[in-house]
Amino acid sequence: MFNIFKKKFIGETIVSPFNGKLINIEDVPDPVFSGKMVGDGVAVEPKDGMVYSPVDGEVIQLFPTKHAIGIRSSGGLEILIHIGMDTVEMKGEGFESFVEEGQKVKTGDKLIVFDIDKVKENHPIISPVIITNMELVEKMKKKENGVTVEGGKTEIMKINLK
């Protein structure tokens, strides 16, 4: 039966920026991320060194060391993708960017390639995917822990906007 009072979904779908395994944000080995001080989201344990855009939007921040990137979705969500833990210490070595600040991107576009083995030598590889402007979020539904995800394709979060 058709329900005319059913609320239409007003929100966004975030896909994984990495190929790998989904991890609960609370299990990230860094209290800034696991404590949700930057925002809420999930993390991925990447299986290769590719980073894809999780949404249609615009690159709003590309760290000079290319270990992290910020994207504003077409709906206004700000998403931080952080490759590994403490990888700023690598000073950009092993990271190559294919985008620049201000550039428009589509879901699945290649953003960054990184040397996963080089990262793993000295850093945990778990990579947070965080919504940093949580004031826009009414409800967040996350895919379950341990699920295998495909970069640029697998839905990892569904966000209802206020």
> Residue 8: its pLDDT value, please?
57
Q: What percent of the chain has pLDDT over 90?
A: 93
- Mean local confidence (pLDDT), 2-24: 80
Give the global pTM: 0.93
Selected catalytic residue, list 82, 114, 131, 152: 82
Residue 150 reports pLDDT greater than 60: yes
CB within 8 Å of 151: residues ≥ 6 apart? 15, 16, 17, 18, 19, 20, 50, 51, 52, 108
> Residue 2: its pLDDT value, please?
47
Q: In what order do the strands lie in the sheet with 127-131?
A: 104-105, 57-62, 68-73, 78-82, 127-131, 40-46, 20-24, 148-149
Q: What percent of the chain has pLDDT over 70?
A: 94
Residue 161 reports pLDDT greater than 50: yes
- Does residue 82 carry a catalytic annotation? yes
Residue 3 reports pLDDT greater than 80: no
Q: What's the gap between Cα 162 and its chain centre?
A: 21
* Residue 33 near residue 82 (C-beta atoms within 8 A): yes
CATH of 22-161, one of 3.40.50.720, 3.50.30.50, 2.30.30.190, 2.70.70.10: 2.70.70.10
> Residue 49: its pLDDT value, please?
98
> Residue 11: its pLDDT value, please?
85
Q: List pLDDT tens digits, range 31-50.
A: 999 999 999 999 999 999 99
Place of tokens 């996350």: 142
Beta strands 78-82 and 57-62, pairing class: unpaired
